Structure 1
Amino acid sequence: MTFRASAGRRRQALAVATMSAALALTLSACSPSGGGSNSAGTAPTTIGIGIGAQPATFDPAQLDLGESAVIWTGVFDTLLKVDNDGVVQPNAAKSYEYSADGRVLTLSLREGMTFSNGDAVTSADVVATINRMKETPGVRTPDVASIASVDAPDDLTVVLNLNAPDPSLLINLATGAGVIADAATLNNDDIALNPIGSGPYVLDTAATVTGSSYVMTKREDHWNAAAYPFQTVTARVLADSQARFNALQAGEISVSTIASDQADSIKAAGFSVHVVDASAVGSLLFLDRTGSIVPALGDVRVRQAINMAFDRQLYVDQLLLGAGVPTEQFYNPGQPGYVEDLNKTYPYDVKGAKALLAEAGYPDGFALTMPSTYFSQATEPALTQTLADIGITVTWESVPPQEVVSSLSSGKYAMAWFYEGLNSPSIMTRSDLGADGLLNPTSYTTPELTALLDKVNSLTADPDAQGAAYEEINKYSVENALVAPVYYTSTYYGLAKGISFLADTAVPLDIANYGIAG
């Protein structure tokens, strides 16, 4: 099989790569002066980071985990941290410990930390920041929903009392929900523009042009200053990816994400290229596993047949121009729970797929409507053909950009094409399979799935034992075709001399992802 709509294939591939890289929360970086190059052979002291959109706010309760995270991860410390191998580590909290039942998490803060205004960091600041997230409706509120209360028995001890064990809590405390803000400034009128944090950098508000460029200068008094090699970091808002590529080629910027077919020209220009093989997963989502919208999707055989209809390698070759990896599972291959052998579950088999549909009572297939979004548009011709090959007719209905996410939970659509940025197994399990998950709008579950989710929750206090439990969940998801993953997208970075990208797997965006090349 080849896709009949071949016109504009390269343009489609570039659109897919750009969209998936953005959703995977990867960065493209730029320098405000000369690209931060290292022509003299000395290590660069500055780096500029190009982001696709300006940060909406620096209010800790509303921090975005997208590209602007490169700014606030410089300004704010987080209690915990995800290292460049994707492992949660101590950070501002030098240690942490769960109670045996996983319902109490105690964290011990490092001594001597200060905010950029000179105030000492204490446990009272952590309490105030978490309570602000709980009491201020916003994007971080769900991350702290499992916290019933937070106490500060002394200046350096924080105790989180949970409603129930929460396997996602550690990763949340290593990202947006883990920031520490100065309690004395949380109600300042300028909190959205003038963040006061204890991180390794301070936002230079005099040099910053809101909506255009954000300049940070290093704090030499930070407890972990040695881990941050750049004296100045500038995040510039550059929405056009082609403009960033052109600027990179011209030596005007130091780092940018690039398309896979641009790698050779970038290397020829003297840049290095770093590839993260799996940054996001492109999947056909079964939003209606209960069959309440389209009855056919309530039958596991129908969902299995759809999985069998995909020639996944062809999608990678023709839509991504090779910049991806076929997959039949949605878990992050750099995290626990991933099982390589599960990628052999649904070999491409149109005849077998049709037989399964007939067995399920749909020998002539069926029809459905799917949302046409900025996530799906480049892939729609291939998806339409793939599903038509087994008798499923798709009508695409345009959805405005501002309604894309809400359309997934609207109850209107039974299936949708979506890119999900790869994350920890706890985050991805909740999103795709949890009763309140964004990608499970009908709250689908089974007794078997509920038991598996309860098992992994019961192991919250024993993270080392959770890996095997997540493998069981992953196996159940694949065998019961709860999702139809098609491919992981790869992210390519073009890097000027002296600059390195330190992560080989999908990790949350952080200024610590960038370093000086050896």
Structure 2
Amino acid sequence: MKLRRNVSTVMAIALLGLSLAACSSDKNNNGGSGSPSGSSPSASASPSASPGGSAGASPTSAGTPKEFRFTLVEPPSLDPSLLKDAQSVIVGKGLFEGLTRLNNAGEPEPAVATDWDVSDDGKTYTFHLRNDMKWSNGDPVTAHDFEFAWKRTLSQETASPYAYFLFYLVNGEKYNAGEASADDVGVKALDDYTLEAKLNNATPYFLSLVAHNSYWPEDQKVVDAKPDWASEASTIVTNGPFLLKDWEHNSQLVMTKNPDYFDKDNIHFDQVTITMVEEASTVFNMFQTDKIDWIGAQAGSVPTDQVQKVIADGTAKVQPVAGTYYYEFNTTKKPFDNADIRKAFSMAIDRQAVIDNVTKANQTPAFGLVPPSIAGTGGKKFRELYPDDYFTENVDEAKKLLAQGLQEEKLSKLPAVTLLYNTDQGHKAIAEAIADMWRKNLGVEVKVTNQEWETFLNTRTAQQFDIARSGWGADFNDAINFTYDLIHSKSGNNDGKYSNPEVDKLLDDSLTTTDDKARLDKIAQAEKTAMADDMAELPIYYYTTVTMLKPGFTGVSSDYQGNIDWVYGDKQ
């Protein structure tokens, strides 16, 4: 998932955010430099169970309605088929409900689907849906809404950045490529409350995938009547635990508890107010003056000059999360179509110095794409099995590679280079520090510039950049989510358009490999080729998230992805 906002194909994604998610992500997150993305509570199999861990909603001890307040930057879209950034997904998790919902640990639990059957070969899932769920316009939520939404996400006309997440479905990729019809896609409403999904291959994490926004349902009559139906509070139609009461663009978004939600007794906030703010200093001041209740995990960020202080005095918490902060090279234009030049830029920076002097939140230097917390096999993490020793920082070698790359490109000097980041004090500080390293270590001048979030995302998607900030948070707990999504040529989140047929084949083959160790071996080899041989991306550090929460709140935290988990929170 793109984290900050910024955090794959072919079947891809079969795997999956995180947001990843992140998120997610930017699956690319927009969040601050120290944290990527938040979490969702567990949805129970029965309406009477308590995913949030507490009894029914009640007023605070003072007898007042319960409100929760935090900040985001303006969500570019709330259309499930179009969501690609952590900001939008954080809001979307309150407004929409999929077949499953991921709990705080990233494990799938029943949501719209009460239970499901899986065929012996693992290729056919039959979901049994609740018959008591309503859209906010009063329409019943049915299996037809899921079939419509999945096919809409796959349609070329929709241009969904996460269409590849549904390539797991039979003929999903072919339909997206215009080589099959919608009727050929492996999803079908057998009746109003039974949905069948047919997959190309057994996909062990499919129940996690269907929790992703690309698999959320949509009311067809609403979508058909107004293509931009999800752009205003007055026209959006949702099925989740909250309703969108007000959306004053670039100012404030207000959600209220949905009285028709199946698990309403375990939703405790009467109102959630989100203020649109980009600057970390403004967010911090709002927290200090009691105008918001939370900072962190993609919902605002602690200013870098305050991080060490608030960690030391115990008013903030810091934890590692499944996200990677990196820079994206535009491999479609010179000079970064040259691997040696990309390697030079990556090897010429001091990652630990960035962490010690700029971010100051106990991050870990990154030399690969997959974070240390992502699962491997045999009880070990992916990074325990496959260390990210793909390259080392070496200024002398970087100078040689730069000279070699320029010679290969028949250039006497580098053309003008710009480093683009989305507006945020932390991103600015990192960009300026790294540009200074390039100046001192390589003798090159790099212009540092910023854009507001939505414009930044559009610029990056259109490949109108040289180097751009990015971040990726897990959509689900598997290494494929950090490889297929970021380095497969067919991934809608591969904004730098890196392409290597060998890498594509390894990742594609991993999707059809049934032995887990063999599958991960292919993923690891793909990452190694992309990073050691090609320097497809410029990894900087693996995320931590620094969070602050006002006293009196429970059930609000950062999830494993690094996104705020707020839906099942409570206020005493």
**What's the TM-score bracket when you normalise by the shorter of the two chains?**
0.7 to 0.9
How far apart are 1:158 and its partner, in Å? 1.7
Gaps of 5+ in 1: 1-16, 28-39
Change (3 A) 1:318 1:279: farther
Match of 2:134 in 1: 114
**What's the TM-score, normalizing by structure 2?**
0.68
Change (3 A) 1:204 1:287: closer
Among 18, 36, 60, the alignment partner of 1:24 is: 36
What RMSD over aligned residues (CA atoms) do the two structures have, in Å?
4.4
Whether 1:197 and 2:218 are equivalent positions in the alignment is no
Structure 2 equivalent of residue 494 of structure 1: 548
Secondary structure at 1:67 match in 2? helix
Partner SS for 1:367:
coil
Q: Which amino acid aligns with 2:420?
A: T
The one of 503, 528, 539 equivalent to 1:485 is 539
Aligned with 1:387 (options 438, 441, 446): 438
**CA positional deviation for 1:174:** 1.8
Q: Where does residue 333 of structure 1 map in the other structure?
A: 372
- Confirm or deny: 8 A CA contact 2:417 2:445 kept in the other structure: yes
Asked whether the equivalents of residues 272 and 496 of structure 1 are also in contact (C-alpha less than 8 Å), the reply is no
Give, in whole Å, the separation in 2 of the partners of 1:51 and 1:139: 26
| In structure 1, C-alpha distance between the alignment counterparts of 2:81 and 2:131, rounded to whole Å | 25
What is the CA distance between 1:56 and its match in structure 2?
5.0
The residue type equivalent to 1:436 in the other structure is K
Indicate the residue corresponding to 2:306 in structure 1: 262
AA partner of residue 506 (structure 1):
Q
Contact residue 38 and residue 560 of structure 2 kept, 8 A: no
Contact 1:102 1:164 in 2 (8 A): yes
Select the structure of larger CA radius of gyration: 1
Distance 1:76 1:296 in 2: 40
Could you tell which deviates more after superposition, 69-78 or 188-197? Answer: 188-197
Secondary structure (helix, strand or coil) at the match of 2:67 reads strand
Alpha carbons of structure 1 residues 354 and 174: separation in structure 2 relative to 1, 3 Å: same
How many positions carry a matched residue from both structures?
Answer: 479
- Give secondary structure in 2 for the equivalent of 1:342: coil
Would the alpha carbon gap of residues 285 and 128 (structure 1) be closer, same or farther in structure 2, given more than 3 Å must change? closer
Aligned 1:70-89 pairs, distance under 5 A: 70-89=90-109
Q: Cα 1:47–1:362, aligned 2, differ >3 Å: closer, same or farther?
A: farther
Greater shift, 76-85 or 340-349, is seen at 340-349
Alignment of 1:456 with 2:541, yes or no, is no
2:196 aligns to what? 159
User: 1:215 is matched with which residue?
Assistant: 254
1:418 Cα deviation from its structure 2 partner: 1.7
Q: Does 1:142 align with 2:163?
A: yes
SS at match of 1:435: coil
In structure 1, the residue matched to 2:416 is 369
Q: Is the 8 A contact 1:256 1:495 kept in 2?
A: yes
- Equivalent residues in 2 for 1:277-316 (5 A)? 277-278=320-321, 280-288=323-331, 293-294=334-335, 297-299=338-340, 303-316=342-355
Match of 2:18 in 1: none
- Cα 1:416–1:279 shift into 2, 3 Å: farther
Contact 1:47 1:254 in 2 (8 A): no
Residues 410-429 of structure 1: pairs in structure 2 closer than 5 A? 416-424=467-475, 425-429=479-483
Q: How far is 1:497 from its partner?
A: 0.8
Rounded to whole Å, the distance in 2 between the matches of 1:465 and 1:120 is 44
Q: Kindly tell me: are residues 239 and 487 of structure 1, through their superposed partners in 2, closer, same or farther at Cα, counting changes over 3 Å? A: closer
Structure 1 Cα separation of the partners of residues 428 and 306 of structure 2: 23
* Secondary structure of 2:569 counterpart: strand
Pair 1:214–1:95, CA change in 2 (3 A):
same
Partner Cα separation in structure 2 for residue 106 and residue 464 of structure 1: 28
Provide the rounded CA distance (Å) in 2 between the counterparts of 1:218 and 1:295: 49
Secondary structure (helix, strand or coil) at the match of 1:454 reads: helix
Aligned residue for 1:317, secondary structure, equals: helix
Q: What's the counterpart of residue 357 of structure 2?
A: 318
Match of 2:526 among 473, 476, 479: 473
Q: 1:246 aligns with which of 269, 274, 285?
A: 285
Q: Runs of 5+ in structure 2 lacking a partner?
A: 1-28, 40-59, 176-184, 297-301, 377-381
* 1:307 to partner: Cα distance: 3.9
Paired amino acid for 1:371 = T
2:146 partner SS: helix
CA distance, structure 2, for counterparts of residue 261 and residue 321 of structure 1: 8
Q: CA shift at 1:314, angstroms?
A: 0.6
| Separation (CA, whole Å) in 2 of partners of 1:311 and 1:469 | 30
Note the C-alpha offset of 1:421.
Answer: 2.8
Seen in structure 2, the aligned counterparts of structure 1 residues 144 and 417 have a Cα distance that, compared at 3 Å, is closer
Post-superposition offset of 1:417 = 3.9
Q: Please give the secondary structure, in 1, of the residue aligned with 2:551.
A: coil
Q: Name the aligned partner's letter for residue 549 of structure 2.
A: L
Distance apart, 1:100 and its partner CA: 7.5
Displacement of 1:353: 4.1
Seq. identity, %: 21
Q: Distance in 2 between matches of 1:236 and 1:478?
A: 39
Structure 1 residues 451 and 181, CA gap change in structure 2 (3 angstroms)? closer
Partners of 2:132 and 2:79 lie apart in 1 by 24
Deviates further, 214-223 or 313-322: 214-223
Q: 1 CA distance for matches of 2:217 and 2:98?
A: 6
Q: Which residue of 2 aligns with 1:32?
A: none
Which of 483, 489, 492 lines up with 1:435 in the alignment?
489
Structure 1 residue 434, shift from structure 2 partner: 0.8
The one-character-per-residue Cα deviations of 1:154-183 (angstroms, maximum 9, x if unpaired) are 222223456788899766532322222344
CA distance in 1, matches of 2:558, 2:63: 20
Match for 2:437: what amino acid? T
